[in-house]
Every structure is written in structure tokens, then in C-alpha cells.
Structure 1
């Protein structure tokens, strides 16, 4: 099937030709913290059909946004990860996350939630608080770490090898911090924050 295009000679239009389809940027969001198996992606994208996920992965691979490699016994498992071009979409997701924070409001009964979805907004808030440094974040059973340095803010799966600060939140506290109804300091009064080192 030929790719649909806006046929606008415009950088934003060309970008949306590649990642403007429903679910595309959310697949990229899932891969921002590291490689994922198909089953992980399917589990963490509630509401997507298997056909839609397969189509989006195929499109994003064709367009050089992600790669697929075989791992495991007899190379039986496909692992998806972002390419350099895909990683270049991280600032786009960060901007959308910052813009969308004001739209969160109260969680609706129909809203799915995954703790790692808070990595983007929490990463931004943590970077503002610590400047340059590394933080391990635990939200229930989910653990990721945030690295803030002169090149920006990234998050990765699992704990940091040497974190400047460790933050333990339950899901309701993480939600309150992300939607702006509580500060990090109010949600984590017991945390001793490292001295802030400015990011160049």
C-alpha cells in the first residue's frame, strides 16, 4: 500500500508523513527507555490491536525510525529499538509531554496507566531539581533511571549504577507530581536532594 502524504512542502508535514499516524509516536515513547519485545509493546499499549501494532512497527522500521533484531535461542525473539533518527524524536515527545501535562486533569475510570509513562514528565521535573546528575525512580514494581546532563535528559530501564538520588513513589504520588497537584519535594519529604549542579 503506498504511503499517504499531505503533499505539503513543509518540514512539519514531512515529519507527520512518517510519524503522524495513530499510535506511531506512542510506539516511539515505549522505545525511548530501551529495546522492547513485541509482547512488551503490546502489553504496554492498551487499546492497540495486534494488526495495528504490527503495521506500525513495520512502517517505523521501513522509515528508519526503529530497527528489529533477532535475539534469544535460535534467534526466536524480535527486539525493537530506536535508531538515531528515532531517538531524534525524543525532544518532540518531551515537548508534547510538557504541553499535555496541563490536559491531564483527574484520571478517568477508562484511562489506562503504566508507571513508566511518567518517565518523560518526571525526568523533566527531576532535571529541574538536580540539574546535572542521575536519579533512580521506583514507582511500585517499575524502576527506571533518569540522566540529566549537558546533552539533555534521558531515561533508561532499571536502576542507575550510581544514582545521586533514589526516589520511591507510589502510583498516586507519581500521578499527583505529574499532573502538578504536588511537588516532588512534597511527595518525597524524606529525600535528601543532592546539591544542584547547573546543566551547561
Structure 2
């Protein structure tokens, strides 16, 4: 559980850093080599990995101090927080509050930073004089935006919605998006702007449809 939570928090922060990277590239293109230099990029990535470790270790330790009784099998694909809390037979109010606070810090706050970055990006793109420049700028952000929607949408609904015994299958379905589907589609989404990949897909798809 701790390993999963650390990776999830790192993903949230990395997506926020990528949004900032695109903000600098589009809104301050002349300063981009100076701002996003190699040293600063390494520091950002290191901060993304390190920042979530102590908090998520604390969350995991807190959850496993709860009393568990009767059934010891979770109704989920992996050891996640919501299904673990459903198995606890003690008072889980404090644990739920901690989960909500951490969800705000590690999911909502980075998402708000992404929204702030893209609000400035969109404002800058709309001011560009040529349609070609607008199209190129939008294509730079399209792949990242798609990943953000898939990852943050499913994760936010899963962790910030009220816990309920109804529609248990929805939690499993949503968890597939941010644990399996999004990482699986990441290489495909980010490579769609590559001309060689796009050309290869154009050659393959007609043959697949013909079969």
C-alpha cells in the first residue's frame, strides 16, 4: 500500500511539473532554456519523488493500526485505502479525515496548479496572431491534457467521493484508469505527435479495418 501511495503522489506532482514546463515553453519561450535548465529539472523530479514518502508512510502506518476482524479479504484488485477502511471494525472517522486531507494535498492541489498553468497557456495561445501558431501550441499540450483528465478524473472521484456500500464495482472500474489504463496508454498518447508514429498508424489502421 505504501509503495502504491508513493507512486500515486509522485505521478500527481510530475503531471503538475509537466504543466509548468508547458507553461514556460508557451508563455515565456525565450526564457525556457534558462528557466527549465538541467539542474532545475533534476531538482523538480527529485522533489516529486521525495515529497510524498514521509506522509504516505504515516498514512499506511495509521491505517494498519486499526482493528480488523471477520473477513480478511479486500473487495478490490489491490491493497488500496478505501477497501481497507471498509474492512476495519473500529472507528475510522479520523482515518477518513486524514485521507481527505492528503487527497487535497496530493491530488487536488497539483490539479489546481495544472488548471492555473493551462489558464495562462490558453490565454497566451488565443493571443497568437496566426492559426498555425495556435494549432502548434495546442498540439504541444494535447497529450498532457488527455493524461491529466484520465488520471486526475478517476483518482479524484475515487478518493473524494463519500464512502458507500452501493456501486462497489464503480470503485474497481475507476481504479483501473489511474493504475492500469493511464500508464498503459501514456506511451501511445505522448507519441501521437511523433510523425513517424502517426504515419505508421495511418498505414496499419486501413489494413486492420480491411481485415
TM-score range relative to shorter protein: under 0.3
Of the two structures, which has the highest relative contact order with CA contacts closer than 8 Å and spacing of 6 or more? 2
Richer in strand (by share): 1
TM-score normalised by length of structure 1: 0.26
Q: Which has the larger radius of gyration?
A: 2
Richer in helix (by share): 2
